[in-house]
Structure formats: C-alpha cells, structure tokens
Amino acid sequence: MRSPRLPHRAFSSAAVPRIGVPTRVRAACAPLSIRPFRLHFVARLLSWTGSAVAPIGLAFAVLSLRGGATGLGLVLAAGVVPQILLLLIGGVVADRWSRATVMVWTNIVSAVAEVTAAGLLWTGTAKVWHLVLTSAVCGAASAFFTPAAGGVVVEVVPPEMRHQANALLKIGQNSVKVGGPAVGGAVVALVGPAWTIGWDAVTFVAAAALCARIGLAPTPAKVRTGFVRDLKDGWKDFWARRWLWPMVLQGAVVVPVWLVGYQMLGPVYGSRYLGGAGPWGVVVSAFTGGLVLGSAVVLMWKARMVGVMVCLGTGTMALPLAAMALNAPLIVLAFATCTAGAGLALSMTMWSSLLQERIPVDRLSRIMSYSTLGQVLPVPLAYVAAGPLSSVFGVRATLAAGAALIVAAVVVPLAVDQIRTLALAPAEPAEAEALVTAPR
C-alpha cells in the first residue's frame, strides 16, 4: 500500500535566505553609522596609534638616560601596579558617573603626564624617576579608563549591533599594532624618543575632545551607596554568575603563561634557536597579522556557542609555545603564531559581546573590572618566577610546561555544563538587512 504523497519539500518554504557579501559588509559596518559610536571608535583609534609607538620611545628614552634594564623594568612596573591597585575603584566610578566624562578626564590626565615626560626629554632635564612617575600616572588613569570604555558600547549601540561594534574596535586596535612598532622605531631613529611620547600626548588630547562629544543619555537616578558597598555588590554579582568566574580563572592561567612564553621567553628563544631578532620579527608579524585576520572573521561571522568558541580560540595560544618547545621550523612557528593571534581576537570579541548581552549596564563596569583584575593579578608573579624556572629547567622545557598549562586551562571549564551551553542571542533571518538601515 502506497503512502500518501507529501508536497515536495513543503517544510523548507521558510528556509533562511542567503545573504550576499555586500549586504554582510554593510551590516558589519552598520555601527559606524551611529554618531556616538563613530566618535568613540575614532577616539580609540587615535589613542591606539599613540599607544603603538610610545612604548618604543619610552624604552629608548630610559636607555638614553642610562637606566639600563633595571630602569626600564621600574618604568614598566610603574605602569602596571597602579592598574592593579585602582582597577576595582575604576569600575565603581564608571558605573556611578558618566562613562564618557570618565574617559575625557582620564585622557586629559594621561596627556598631561606624557607632555611632561616629552618636555623633560626635549629640554635634557629628564631623569629615570621622572619617567617612572609619569608612567605611574598613565597607569592610574588607565585603571579608570578601561572599565568606562568597556561599558560605552552598551550605551550607544543597540543590542543587535554590539557584536559588530566589538569586532570593529578589535580590527582598529589590531591593525594599528601591525605597523605601530615599526613606525615608532623609525621616529626614534630619526628625531629621538621624545617625539613618540609627544605624539602619544597629542592622541590623548584628540581622544578627550572626541569623547566629550559622545553625549551619552543621562543614567536613571538611583540611590547612592558607599564605595565599599558598591564593591561588595559588584563582587556578589560577579560570583553569582557561575559561568563567569571559571572563565576568569581560565584567563588567570592563560594570560600570565602567554605573556611569559611569548613576550618574555619568546625573544630569548628567537635569539638562541632562530638566529636573532630578524626571524623573531617574522613571528611577531605573524601574530599581529593573525589578530587582524581573526577580527575580520568575527566581524563577518557571529557564532552562537560562545563558551565553546572562546575556549577553542584561547586554546590556540598553546600552539606557538608548543612549536617553540619542539624547535619547529620557522614557517611552522609563524603559522602557529598567526593561528594564535586569530584565535585570541575571535575569543576576546565574542567574550565582550556576551558580557554586554548578559550583564546589566549599571553593573557592567564593576564586573568587567573584577574580570580584568583576576586575569592580570598573577602576571607580575609569573614574570618573577619565569626567569629562575627557565634557568633551572631550560627555555624549551618551560615553554612546553606553559603549553600544557594553557591546554589544561582550556579543557577544564568545558566540563561545566553552563559554560558549554553559553550562547549569544540568536540572530533573526532578516537582521543583516535591518542593520544596514541603522539610524544615525
């Protein structure tokens, strides 16, 4: 007996239509049609151009003052320690007051510090302790700027565009990293380190002017509580999200291990096994190229399973450390490093989108400050411990241990069901078409 014949593929009549590449590109760039985000984007881009060249100038300024490695270490530490000490306070401030105003004043403070440093270098009166002090001022300002900037996207971009906005910011940041250090080195060679620091000051001033024009809507009035109470409330919100703190613990392992393996031991490996700065420069270029590539991919593609994708993207950072531990050929190491850069850009962008989607705007800066602090707090200890460990066990053995730690830190959170099922809100089929008509 024959079964009744069903209409041919009637169930597929509501299939999602194919979206062409031009439409995808317009949708990806739609956040730039929103004036407050456009101002925020240009301000950040200008600031990143200064941040890309200033470290080169700062390093050579310290060396020109005969501060040596010790002096440079003091200057770098002075920029990090205030961030660790003040980051939680910065999160409270960003949730209490206008984030745009916080960004304006932190840019102004940083500009004053950089103008002072450049002026002292130009006049030949600079001392190493002057640069330590100005670096500390910039680090303190960054502790307030970072949580504020992290929350601005939520205030100026509608939910359906935030993923694209985060990806655009990452593309801008990573694109500047490609040529910034080379430009900084050329400027130092031609006119001296003071000019790179002076340029950093100019970008801070320009960023402050742009941030002042963002014009965020007034935040709803709320009962003001003390700073300590706000810190406690932020910690409760942070700890209550069982999907959040395991991922921060993952970052607390991966971030210091990666910084030690790539930034600290990587140049040592390049000198001993690759033949010097030239081949290691190829590896660094591959990483920055991967950052740009990953940002471009995530701009055009919005994955839903964020927990799994963030872990996989983070796991790619073990590849360069493993390649160095195995003394792989330069081309293999460069490919591994490019993959790590792409994975890092992808995971960071998706993670930012998830936080903005799941955390209320009036608590976002505090929770982001707890998240950032948890990841950077172990970094100084890792730097201190890595030197003796590599001396005892060898550089390649230390890199192998670092790769193993990253893999373990990636696998363990995936055993938690809440992390495996983390997902962004599903996109509507016509969402891409709607994005291209975003209001200005």
| Res 296 pLDDT > 60 | yes
Residues 248, 118: one domain? Answer: no
CATH code: domain of residue 290? 1.20.1250.20
CA torsion angle for 33, 36, 42, 44 (degrees, to 10)? -130
Same domain, 71 and 214: yes
Using 50, 70 and 90 to split pLDDT, how confident is the model at 157? confident
Does 82 share its domain with 212? Answer: yes
Residue 436, in any domain of the structure: no
Q: Are residues 259 and 199 in the same domain?
A: no
214/303 same-domain check: no
Model pTM?
A: 0.71
Domain containing 255: what range? 230-426
**Is 433 within the bounds of a domain?**
no
pLDDT beyond 90 at 406: yes
Per the model's pLDDT, the better-predicted residue between 384 and 86 turns out to be 86
Asked whether residue 206 falls in the same domain as residue 242, the answer is no
Residue 187 lies in a domain: yes
Residue 214 domain flag:
yes
- Whether 16 maps to a domain, the answer reads no
Domain count, the chain: 2
300-349 pLDDT, tens digit per residue, is: 777 778 888 889 999 999 999 999 999 999 999 999 999 999 999 888 88
Confidence of residue 10 (pLDDT cuts 50, 70, 90): very low
Domain presence at residue 164:
no
Statement to judge: residues 236 and 215 lie in one domain: no
Residue 3 in domain: no
List, for residues 374-397, the tens digit of each pLDDT value: 888 888 788 778 778 888 898 899
**Domain-embedded: residue 8:** no
